[in-house]
Amino acid sequence: MGKLLDALSEKELDFIVKQKLFFVATAPIDGKINLSPKGIDSFRVITKNQVIWLNLTGSGNETQAHVDENGRMIIMMCAFEGAPNILRLYGKAEAILPSNSKWKEYISLFPKVPGSRQLLLLHIDAIQNSCGFGVPYFDYKGERDTLNLWAEKKGEVGVREYQELKNTTSLDGKPVRLD
């Protein structure tokens, strides 16, 4: 049985720093649930009850559509090496776009990455730490450079055109803000 916590302790903070992969899940009030794997150097702890991650341009923009509608988000990390562990962070998120006054404060926490689309700030209201005994071992071989190379090749204008074409409507037809 997992332990329910109300704030990140040093144990969870140490675990988070070692992770190369995390999963984000959101859901609209009605419609399709979204679950996405995330990597690259895109996750930061702000406080013991706040984390933020950098979302890059992709084929869709479900996360922001759902966050704009209801804010619900869960982030999950699991140990693929070392001691077994699964960490889930539950809470309400807010999307911070480049036009938001908070953008400059938070984007400085991350390396410059082409195709940066929005920041997702999660206000954590519950944390579950569980065993992870059934999670298999995997070997980390490195980051893929495909997304960064794609965004560099398109350039800022090309990425913006792609976002306007592919990232302004969710799978369920909900509008998504770019600014």
Phi/psi of residue 43, each to 5°?
Answer: -135, 135
Spatial separation of the C-alpha atoms in residues 66 and 47, rounded to whole Å: 24
- Residue 2 confidence (pLDDT): 81
- For 10-67, write each residue's pLDDT tens digit: 999 999 999 999 999 999 999 999 999 999 999 999 999 999 999 999 999 999 999 9
Q: Hey, is 48 helix, strand or coil?
A: coil
Name residue 121's beta-bridge partners. Answer: 52, 94
Spatial separation of the C-alpha atoms in residues 76 and 14, rounded to whole Å: 15
Checking if the pLDDT of 1 tops 80, the result is no
- CA separation, residue 67 to residues 80, 91, 128 (Å): 28, 11, 21
